[in-house]
Structure 1
Amino acid sequence: MSCGLDEDCPFPANDDLFDDTFAVHDVYKFMGEELKICQLFGANLGVAAPVWEAALHLCGYLEEQQVCLRGKRVIELGAGTGLVGILAARVGAFVTLTDLPLALPQLESNVSDNSPSCGWPAAPPIVLPLSWGVDHLRFPSDWDLVLCTDIVYLPETYPLLLETLTHLCKNGAVVYLSSKMRREHGTPGFYDECLTSRFNVELLNRDDQQNINIYRASLRTDH
């Protein structure tokens, strides 16, 4: 997740995170697909540049559990490099990748670099800007899956994320969230208190070594 130029935006650009701009190209293999992902490290992208371990964990979990993605309507929040959403599209999902405006060129480039020679099995991923709690109502609520990897790290954004997830899941979407459990950022509290205020939340997987949890959530019917 990165931030645009709006001074009121709650997502910091981390302008001092990287002094130079450089690209790192890596290849990842999941579900029989080979994904070429460019990570563009530079002051503008900040935390949206890397492929975070939580994203790799979610890809691995979806592969190991043989979660059906073909034909599903999928939206990814804070997509960053787009690894998870692009994987879903490569195996036949209808995917929308979202992040703040500065991250979109990297997303679009990675989508283009991963276009199958014989065409996308369902449709090319759509790349759109989405600021949580601000313009989420522009998006529909008819998704099957909402994917989130390592986007729970700024407490001031948690109510905005909750509002966005509530809207996206009104018609029964299931959310998969993979997070580094950063106590200093209140990440456990988001899952234990904030998310559970509106969602049924289930811990699916815990990696003690990496301190990464994978959750599944669905909007409570009594909400």
Structure 2
Amino acid sequence: MSDGRPLSGQLKKFVFRGKSTNNGDKRGDYLEIVIPELLSAGYSFYTWPSAPLLAWFLWSQRKHLRGLRVLELGCGTGLPGILASKCGAHVTLTDSVALPRSLTHLSACCEANGLIPGRDVQIIGLTWGLFLTDVHNLQPVDLLLASDCFYEPSQFEEVLSTVSYLLDGTDARFLCAYQERSSDWSIEALLKKWSLKGALLNLDSLSDSSGIDYRALIGDRSLHLLEIVPV
């Protein structure tokens, strides 16, 4: 979809709360993120359902995010990366260098949550599968993130080649939330080609650690959370 001009918009609020204590006290475990969405502008201006799933998983692991070097790929409105930054991670947000309006809107999403691009978060254009100097400068990272990057099969290898490059020689991992759209689509052969291995995470643990019912979060969609690491 083209990086078109916005035609309509709304402000979407995401509220993250800690699991209730015995007395129901959740003070100190609360985060509110607002995302300005432009519903008629293009897919990168809208928060797709996989992003809140990944954000909730990060929220359940928030105590481990502080100080981590986090990079989000193809982040669109940047919900997971913004949450990681608010939880103390050093975050770089990326989206296609060919979509400058998307990057501008991403900056606006950060600013809506009190994050100043260039100071609190870094925002850069990144083309999957193209290894220029800017990509090399992104290393090292501790955690890669993406939501719904496995949307167009023709780009699967470009995504995984980028992931392989960024993870090479590190102990980092890639967390990806995605929606299963076809049983015929598979990345198994590409994972092997790029010396990666993946495993689906058990979402029941998300319910146990966060107190949220992940089934209510994903509804009737086939959403999954995948962890990919180097072989």
Task: Give TM-score scaled by structure 2 length.
Answer: 0.77
Match of 2:110 in 1: 111
Counterparts of 1:42-121 in structure 2 under 5 Å? 42-43=40-41, 46-66=42-62, 68-100=64-96, 101-115=100-114
Bigger Rg, which one? 2
Match of 2:25 in 1: none
Match of 2:221 in 1: 210
Match of 2:33 in 1: 35
Structure 1 moving runs of 4+ over 6 Å: none
- 3-state SS of 2:114 partner: coil
Cα deviation code 1:103-141 (max 9, x no counterpart):
10110001111116xx99xx5111110010124552233
Cα gap change, 1:150 to 1:88, in 2 (>3 Å): same
- 3-state SS of 1:147 partner: strand
Q: Distance in 2 between matches of 1:55 and 1:149?
A: 5
Structure 2 unaligned regions, length at least 5: 18-29, 204-214
Q: How many residues align?
A: 197
Give the superposition deviation at 1:41. Answer: 2.3
Match of 1:26 in 2: 12
Q: Give RMSD over aligned pairs.
A: 2.5
* Contact 2:3/2:102, CA 8 A, preserved across alignment: no
* Contact 1:136/1:167, CA 8 A, preserved across alignment: no
* Contact 2:70/2:144, CA 8 A, preserved across alignment: yes
Task: Give TM-score scaled by structure 1 length.
Answer: 0.79
Match of 1:175 in 2: 174
Identity of matched residues, %: 28
Cα gap change, 1:70 to 1:148, in 2 (>3 Å): same
- 3-state SS of 1:41 partner: coil
Counterparts of 1:181-200 in structure 2 under 5 Å? 181-183=180-182, 186=185, 189-190=186-187, 192-197=188-193, 198-200=195-197
